[in-house]
Structure formats: structure tokens, C-alpha cells
Amino acid sequence: MALGVPESHRDLLGADVGVFATLDDGGLPQLTVVWFLLEDDEVRLSFNSKRAKTHNLRARQECSLAIVDLANPYRYLELRGRARVEPDDDYAFAARIGAKYDADLRKYDPPDATRVVVTLEAEKVYAVDESG
């Protein structure tokens, strides 16, 4: 079981998108639909250094990723925890996640931005299925 995710919800770790939450400077939630990759039994994301979520994570590590089953929206997975933020100046991880989405992440970045790898260190896992 990756990250303590039960087998019943493990398939959601291969989903296309999730909703990533951080806390802004005022303590309010900031949500963004994001790409992510399960790698080495960890959920990792790639953000550019100019994004609000990158700023938020550098100030406060608390975060959450919710992944909804698009075929059954009453079934979802939420991972809550803290983020480990590491540089990805050579775009090595950005290239791996870009391969999943057939995208070159460099095209999304302003000229003065760099990339970071965000690893979600889950402390709580909620696997929910309310479809009856």
C-alpha cells in the first residue's frame, strides 16, 4: 500500500489531476488543480518558483491533495500532510512528470522562474467511497 493508501483507492494515484491545497499568508486555503506523479511510493509534484503555492509551501509546509474518481465523484482520496520542497534546477523531475502528460513544463514557466519538486509526506490518508 503506497503511503498507507488502501488497495480500494490505490488506482486513484494514477489519475490525471488532483486538487492541491496550501495555506496562504492570511491562513486561508489556496487550491489549485495540479498534475502529480507517484514515484518511489511517494506523491510528487512540480511547481515553478513564481507560483503562489510554491511561496505558500516555503512559508508553511502543511498541504493536502484530493483526488476525485471522475467516473464516480462520490469516491475520492485525500492525502494530508507536509511538503518537502527541493530544487529541480535541471528540470530532471519536471521532465519525468511532463512525460506523463506529454508536456514540456519549461513552456509554462516565465524566463526568471526555476522548478521545485514537492514531495507530499502524508500524515493522514482518507479513502472515501460514499456511492452506496
Q: Decide if pLDDT at 128 tops 90.
A: yes
The pLDDT, as a whole number, for residue 28 is 97
Enter the C-alpha cell of residue 26.
Answer: 492570511
Q: Decide if pLDDT at 2 tops 80.
A: no
pTM of the complete model: 0.94
Q: Indicate the number of domains in the chain.
A: 1
DSSP characters over 3-67: GG--GGGGGGGG-S-EEEEEE-TTS-EEEEEE--EEETTEEEEEEETTSHHHHHHHH--EEEEEE
pLDDT, tens digit, for every residue of 58-117? 999 999 999 999 999 999 999 999 999 999 999 999 999 999 999 999 999 999 999 999
DSSP element (H, E) containing 115: strand 115-129
Q: Decide if pLDDT at 1 tops 60.
A: no
- CATH number at 61 reads 2.30.110.10
